[in-house]
Amino acid sequence: MGKSLDRLKELAAGKMSSWQEEANWYRQNNGWLKQSSKIAFRILSELDEKGLSQKELALRMNVSPQYVSKIVKGKENLSLETIWKIEEALGITLISVNGNVQYVYPETITYNESYTRIPLSKSLSTRVNDDYVNYKNTFQNKDDNVA
């Protein structure tokens, strides 16, 4: 039977129309539905340009033809995985994230010499200076006299 006759039977049975629910759903999901429609149009254009069928796309993506049909209707909320499969199957880019961003990596300096081979200046010597020993002995003598 036709859609109109089915609808008439629903109304006669007292079922309320769901148009308000559908309208609210479209209003709430308007953003991703627009993007999905754009992606669907791009996919259909690429299929036409490459002479591929939806069934061939489904085989390349390893999904069912029914799923591809949903995608090209523009009402499927696509995951990143699905978008990637489409891009791989068609050899196109559907989504590009921040293409103008340049990453700057910090410059790394490589030393050929190990730290143990770097010579210390005399002022940074690890030897105990004779003056320090004399000062220490003098200071201890003062403390010994005070006590």
Is residue 6 in a domain?
Answer: no
Is residue 137 in a domain?
Answer: no
Is residue 44 in a domain?
Answer: yes
Q: Which of the four pLDDT bands, split at 50, 70 and 90, describes residue 85?
A: very high
Nearest to 70 by CA among 43, 105, 89, 91: 43
CATH number assigned to the domain comprising residue 36: 1.10.260.40
Evaluate if residue 147 carries a pLDDT over 50: no
Total structural domains within the chain: 1
Is residue 143 in a domain?
Answer: no
Domain containing 27 equals 21-90
74 in Cβ contact with 37 (< 8 Å)? yes
Is residue 145 in a domain?
Answer: no
Q: What is the pLDDT of residues 98-127, one digit of tens each?
A: 766 666 666 666 656 555 555 556 555 555
- pTM given for the model: 0.54
Contacts 24+ apart (CB under 8 A), 94-97: 94/39, 94/42
